[in-house]
Structure 1
């Protein structure tokens, strides 16, 4: 089997069978191959520690291991390729506990404290692949182009951009084929918004109450903190206010409808698959490491614990979000939201990590200099 075919099968297993977000799957394929976990069969024979070393999240690692075991078990039972395409299960809903209020949900999704100290940012170099950088760009961009959207919506819409872009890239280099769910008409009739030049199908979250009056304060070291007061009643909102939105996962919708081919593609029931804010946030938190050379040169060059690595990545994310905020803020007064959105993708292209073209560069990581982002300011 060619390396390209093996890569495609492994990616399909992660994104379809193990239900790993496509952006996460793309970024981890090469890590799996580097430890000879090239197929569901090899993953099934491994253990949770091996997967956790790559994916870092214990729950996600268990999910992947269990999916691999199911695939292998089904293959043995059927003695055919059907094992690679098991039926898609419906998402389970929460069975216990009270649902979070809007304010509680937004609080649970808070991102690391943003650093706006230019002296720190100019010296900072991160190590990451391209997909989470697109996600970070979109999350910060939406603060300026759709400021009425809560953080949960911005994370969901940004993840939709990443997944749409990832599939387009996968098709262009031969890892995916066929029409996308959007091209086949799934979600037709649902409203759309444009983020980084891409049209995203959305669902309106009518009645979602989350707003607080926010006061921004800067600390002496350049960090920005938001202090929140009482919730504003939804009755005070103007008619023009856009409701909160979710990005619809059209590819997941397509898979669920494949079980019921008689159902029209445009027919959407109450159980709409969306890009969840929680998964987008988790992806951001674990994606921005420090180049190995800088770690070796630092005084604390001893082997880091998992907690220490995560703390470092969260700090790095705060640096990246700060640099992006300074970029978009510098242009926000001279460009309309539409013009700002049009510029965003070209800015991303100018600063994204350099990787090999085609399949060889799929999911690869490289350095990201925050000074390059700051140079793009107005």
Structure 2
């Protein structure tokens, strides 16, 4: 049984906190609630108290509680602090260290892990300010779930819905049961992001990879104790804690960095490497009457080269971005490249830059389809499968 401190933010999704409390208590956890002023417009303290069977805290200025430094006791007396729903405003105040009400004060004072489940309009979620705040929180060690995608109370459709209570409970229990460091002593190589192939000093050929899935996998492997070398194409993402990052630009740069990072116990080749490069012009190509012809040269196949190298890692995992017959194309790619596993996804939908992914794990034994999950959860599942495979091989 664990002690959960639940901060209920202001937003229409606050009503889901009631079901979240019920599910947590059904699993044997105790729940204490902090109801923000905004949250009180959508759900009452009486309701939360009845469901949690505990006093609900609403203000920093309670004479009885604060005479005993109640906000400090609340912040230290839980095993996990959960913010649900975490509105754009609340995430911003968390990221910037505000302490102007009970919720933000105890979040600043806590020495316990924090998990936030965002809920807001899709434009608010996608706004650069919110994305900066989320990146800062994650870099500070806060677990920020990816919001669900769907219809919203405002009538719009997109990412920003509060994850369903069952998904929040799963994330809570994962946070409460830190993974065994089953990859301690292992070195794992991860590639992530796109490559940029220069046309001239100003222009380049690239693709739409955001690097988020690869960075999430690097973080999940490091959480299991691995020594992770992350070879990253040009992306503006924070380096995961405990990960060694090597920044590269082109496919040739990435191929050299992969070779230099060996030996490794496993390689997870997530990067979307450009298939071709251009014979780059030394000076900017000026705009003329007709566009210049681009002479394309095939880039080295980093995955296939690694899979056939004399110092090949015992486990080589490739990725396949497909738009049709996803599993069939991934199975063929696994054999053609010589990889042990291929993780394939359908990129004809909204995948690049999003927080969710639905993948198929293709191995010699067949294909296993996973439901659409937050990219962090995809990463955790894959990292655990890698750990299990290396342990079995040992």
Is TM (by shorter chain) over 0.5?
no
Q: Aligning the two structures, in what range does the TM-score lie when normalised by the shorter sequence?
A: under 0.3
By percentage of residues, which structure has more helix? 1
By percentage of residues, which structure has more strand? 2
Higher relative contact order (CA 8 A, sep 6+): 1
Report which of the two structures shows the higher radius of gyration computed on alpha carbons: 2
